[in-house]
A and B are shown apart, each in its own frame.
Chain A
Amino acid sequence: MISPKSPAGPDAPPGWWRRNHWWLLGALLLGAMAFWLPYRDALREFVETRKPSHPIDVPLGTWADYEGSRWRVTGVQRQDMKPSSAGYQHSDSSLVVVTYEVLRGTSVTSEALDRCNGRMSDRQGRHWRAGAMVHSQLPQAFQRLGTDCGSRMGKEFLREKAMPARPFEFHHLFQVPRDVPTSELRGEIAFPPFKTTPPGAYLRFNLGP
């Protein structure tokens, strides 16, 4: 048996859709959020574990705790270079050597410290990697330049390693445009972002006053 149609007209009772429209709207909103929120969290986690994302700003000369060890910048040297010092013809540049000191934590190995990533950035967000290719043009620092943080090349090409709780000095070399003043530069020490706490944390030392 088919039920007769409900009477239409101004006095007719409201239909099911009209009676439940607020519930339907809420369900739609919750449904959309159920998709969006996990996606947003996954995206944030992906970005944070992919590259350094949380800078810990440190003034020049100040100690900072990071990944079980203590770190500071003890010196910055700058030297103008010829326009072919990177191995090709280029615009005017300077070499910047940043000297760091690390007090290795007792629970950290020098091999773990060597997993660091030495970088330099400026206020425009540009980055440089440690290890410019002109070491031979800086004879006074040649022996100790490198890209590691827990070991360095010593005399007679023997590797020297950081010892627990003993100051260990290492140097990172960068090649930057000459028109960028040192005060605009920041030396950075970053470990793989997925291993730091919080993910993506890294040290950012101001190299200017």
Chain B
Amino acid sequence: MRARWIPARLPIRWSLVVASLLVLAVIVWLRRSEPGFADKLAPFVLEGRMEQRVEARNFAVYVKRIKLAEAYLTEGAGFGGKPRRVAGDGIWMSALVEVEPLQEPGYVSAWLRTADGRDYVGAPQDRPKVRGVNLGEQELATGLLASGAYFFDVPADALQGAHLRFFWGMSKPGDMDHIIDIDLQLDPEAVHKLRTEAVPMIDLTP
């Protein structure tokens, strides 16, 4: 037996059904096109080029030039150790830069991003061991313009179209922080010129 309050025939308002389906479709579309958690926290990329000062949230970078070398001659182990030749697995690329922490002291790290998306992290302080020159893993003081270089051991064929990227910190760019992306303008001609100018060994002994 049917309850007394239920009408004999429920009227269907098709316009309302269609409107509800449309609203549902819009909600699903909005949810699907919403950026993911990683996208929301992703760092902001600031683009720049060589010989241009680019300022990020807490540091500024000026890339003066880049050089290639087959190997470096660096200071030896211990006090008075014999200088040692440090050859790269690929080729050494050094980027001569000026870096300035703007608000607080800390570290500026660099890596080289190739045209096909591979990343090569800047070399640590002990390889090549060039005290006072390698700015990788070097704590920098606020407001002091540091002059030095970042070193990269990269395959020789990875240079074309590569970009140099900088971030504040040591391990990875902070959430929603800045990445400075420097276009090295390494077209085939520029790479050829760099390779022609590359020397078998650069003496970096103090």
Residues on A with C-beta less than 8 A from B145 are: 90-91
Question: Shortest CB–CB separation between residue A131 and chain B, in angstroms?
Answer: 10
Contact of A86 with B by CB under 8 A:
yes
> What's the nearest-Cβ distance from chain B to residue A153, in Å?
21
Q: Is A10 an interface residue (CB 8 A)?
A: no
Over the window 140-179 of chain B, the binary record of Cβ atoms lying under 8 Å from chain A Cβ atoms (1 yes, 0 no) is 1111111110000000000000000000000000000000
**Which residue in A2, A91, A128 is a CB contact (below 8 Å) of B105?**
A128
Whether a CB of chain A sits under 8 angstroms from the CB of B52 is no
Q: Find out whether the CB atom of B147 lies under 8 angstroms from the CB atom of A89.
A: yes
Tell me how many residues of A have a C-beta within 8 Å of chain B.
Answer: 21
The answer, among B131, B139, B142, B148, for a CB contact under 8 Å with A126, is B142
1/0 per residue, CB under 8 A from A, across B81-120: the answer is 0000000000000000000001111000000000000000
Tell me which of A2, A84, A128 contacts B141 (CB under 8 A).
Answer: A128
Q: A2-B7, A127-B142, A175-B144 are in contact. Are A87 and B105 (CB under 8 A)?
A: no
A132 close to B (CB within 8 Å):
yes
Residue contact A90 to B105, C-beta cutoff 8 Å: no
- A1 within 8 Å of B (CB atoms): yes
Q: Which residues of B contact A84 (CB under 8 A)?
A: 132
Cα distance, A177 to B102, chains bound together (Å): 11
Residue of B nearest to A132 (CB): B141
Question: Known contacts A1-B7, A126-B102, A127-B104; is A90 also within 8 Å of B146 by CB?
Answer: yes
Asked if B105 and A88 sit within 8 Å, CB to CB, the answer is no
How many residues in B have their beta carbons less than 8 Å from beta carbons of A?
21
Measured between alpha carbons, how far is A132 from B146 in the docked complex, in Å?
15
In this complex, the member of B103, B105, B132, B133 whose beta carbon has the largest number of chain A beta carbons within 10 angstroms is: B105
**Chain A 156-199 residues near chain B, CB threshold 8 A:** 175-177, 180
Whether the pair B148, A89 counts as a contact (CB closer than 8 A) is yes
Contact status B132-A87, CB under 8 Å:
yes
A125 sits at the interface (CB 8 A)? yes
CB distance from A55 to the nearest CB of B (A): 16
Q: Judging by beta carbons under 8 Å apart, are B105 and A129 in contact?
A: yes
Residue A93 CB within 8 A of the other chain: yes
Residues of B whose CB lies within 8 Å of any CB of A are 7, 11, 102-105, 131-133, 135, 138-148
* Extra contacts besides A91-B144, A128-B142 (10): CB < 8 Å: A2-B11, A88-B133, A88-B147, A90-B140, A125-B103, A128-B105, A129-B105, A132-B141, A133-B139, A177-B144
Task: List, sorted by A's number, 30 A–B pairs whose CB atoms are closer than 8 Å.
Answer: A1-B7, A2-B11, A84-B132, A86-B141, A86-B144, A86-B146, A87-B131, A87-B138, A88-B132, A88-B146, A88-B147, A89-B132, A89-B133, A89-B146, A90-B140, A90-B141, A90-B145, A90-B146, A126-B104, A126-B142, A126-B143, A127-B104, A127-B105, A128-B104, A129-B104, A132-B141, A175-B141, A176-B141, A177-B143, A180-B143
